Amino acid sequence: MIKIKILLILTFIIANAFIINSDCQSDDKGITADSYQNPINRGMNPDPSICRAGDDYYLVSSSMFFYPGVPVYHSKDLINWKLIGYCLTTKEHFCLDKNNSSPMMYAATLRYHDGTFYMITTEVNGGGNFFVTAKNPAGPWSAPVFIDRPMFDPSLFFDDDGKVYYTRRGSFDNKDIVQAEIDISTGKLLTELRSVGKGLVSDDIEGPHLYKVDGLYYLMAAEGGSRALHMETIGRSKSPWGPFESCPNNPILSQRNAWWHPVKCAGHADLVQSEDGRWWAVYLATRHMGYNYFSNLGRETFLVPLTWQDGWPVVNPQNVYELTVNTKTLPLHPWETEPFRDNFNSKTLGIDYNFLAYPNRKIYSLTEHPGYLRLWGTENGLEETKQVAFVGKRQKDINSVCDASVEFKPDNSNDEAGLTVFQESNFHYDIFISIRHGKKTVVLRKTVGDIKQETASSSIKTDKLYLKIESDKDLYHFYYSGDNINWKLLGTGNCRLISTEVADVWSGIFYGMFAAGNGKNCKNPADFDWFEYKGLDK
């Protein structure tokens, strides 16, 4: 009897352990949830575009002036996403020549057709519209196929009769949506570009996508600009050329209801049908805490389910207003958690690091000083239009901690190495080692528009310094330490002064390691022993 009781107890323990483990594993057990949290891709990930290949989902977003260009994410459940590569990784991809060293990549569209992935985008500073292809979305991607130079937000639609349509906004000045049939093998337009629509709610329309659902063509687009008035509208027609009847419930997706909601600027959407037959939209929006209107992180990627009623897509507005979306998810498939700290023990940088513009390979190294990231400061400062020793990651959380260990021997007051909270070249906060009044010094500098000021400094006696930046909804806090135990607060910086709204940019904050000579190249390198980022948002 005792043996039977013991056996029953052991059976109960094992069964419960299995149930607990099943809750965690989810993907092969069919576990779903009744809600999920937005954004699904945190940090700067605007203008999302999505496609499905079997039971795999792939998504791209705009990369602006950062390299590599157009990140590619993979998901099995639409909720959990993993960065797997970039579409643009070569000088050819960035349209670089002697007249264009500062690329700017606007909204991309990702499509999958007949075993091939197509990514089409715009290089605003001169390259124009082009697409690249790949059999594996992680890369490598093909050489660019150029279409035309006018702008912007291009999209591709593969019809079931074999025709392919190229759709985009006319230009910065021409606010019509224009379209042509395209030879997808050559990029040659087979018909003249012609207008297929104007704004259905406003006189500012962009980001068009063409779809075919139940025999009808739908033209969906973003309107109202990409700030507080942003929204998504849709029209339908029996022909891909229109005319497109406006949805009676336009805009179908927006957050212009009230300024106190934590989500703002919702729009620029793309649709996907999941394997179970349901429909979803990915879109950009900004995330806020309290009544704060300003966004440091930039435009992030959000997800919302939709249904079809009377031939029109319908989105529950509450799922756009709030960060929690109440709906049954697909079977969940979480990825392994990324490590917080990088000790630079590999010979290659991690996939989630980015550079300003196309990098000079001679100004950073993981092999010259094994176990360290070595940066050679150039004559340039922190400018995205120049070759600068900058390696950074997106700030993905409103509440976060970023820290690093750096060894640096500056020769003069022009030499700098440290950490930066970087929005763009005229809006960033930096904590760095340099020379001031003949002494080695840790400095806090703020660059806000045409105001550049060193607001705090402290002399130091060591070549190795630990730097830390903490963020909350209001402030960045800058610390330094000589032993990684006893930290001193050097100063703070107001978040809103380097927000995307104040800087008037379409990017978002990156935490970066940097070195700079500010007039001439540094004679000595900056060696980073490790770099760490922790997100503290729920």
Residues involved in catalysis: 47, 206
Single-letter amino acid, residue 275: E
Cβ burial of 126 (10 Å; 0-12, 13-18, 19+) is: middle
329, 57 Cβ separation under 8 angstroms: no
DSSP state string for 370-428: TTSEEE--BS--S-TTS--EEEEEE---SSEEEEEEEE---SSTT-EEEEEEEEETTEE
């950009």: which residue's tokens? Answer: 284
User: Rounded CA gap, 480 and 489, in Å?
Assistant: 7
Q: Which helix (H) or strand (E) holds 19?
A: helix 2-25
């130079």: which residue's tokens? Answer: 149
In a 3-state reduction of DSSP, which class is residue 16? Answer: helix
DSSP 41: B
Encoded tokens for 157? 């639609």
Encoded tokens for 240? 């891909």
In a 3-state reduction of DSSP, which class is residue 502? Answer: helix
Encoded tokens for 487? 């930290």
Angle value at C-alpha 255, between 72 and 328, nearest 5 degrees:
60
Counting other chains too, the contacts that 272-275 makes at CB distance below 8 Å and 24 or more residues apart are 272/50, 272/51, 272/52, 272/57, 272/78, 273/52, 274/52, 274/57, 274/78, 274/330, 275/52, 275/54, 275/55, 275/330
User: Rounded CA gap, 146 and 457, in Å?
Assistant: 50
Q: Which helix (H) or strand (E) holds 9?
A: helix 2-25
Q: Is the dihedral of CA 38, 507, 428, 353 positive or negative?
A: positive
User: Rounded CA gap, 205 and 288, in Å?
Assistant: 25
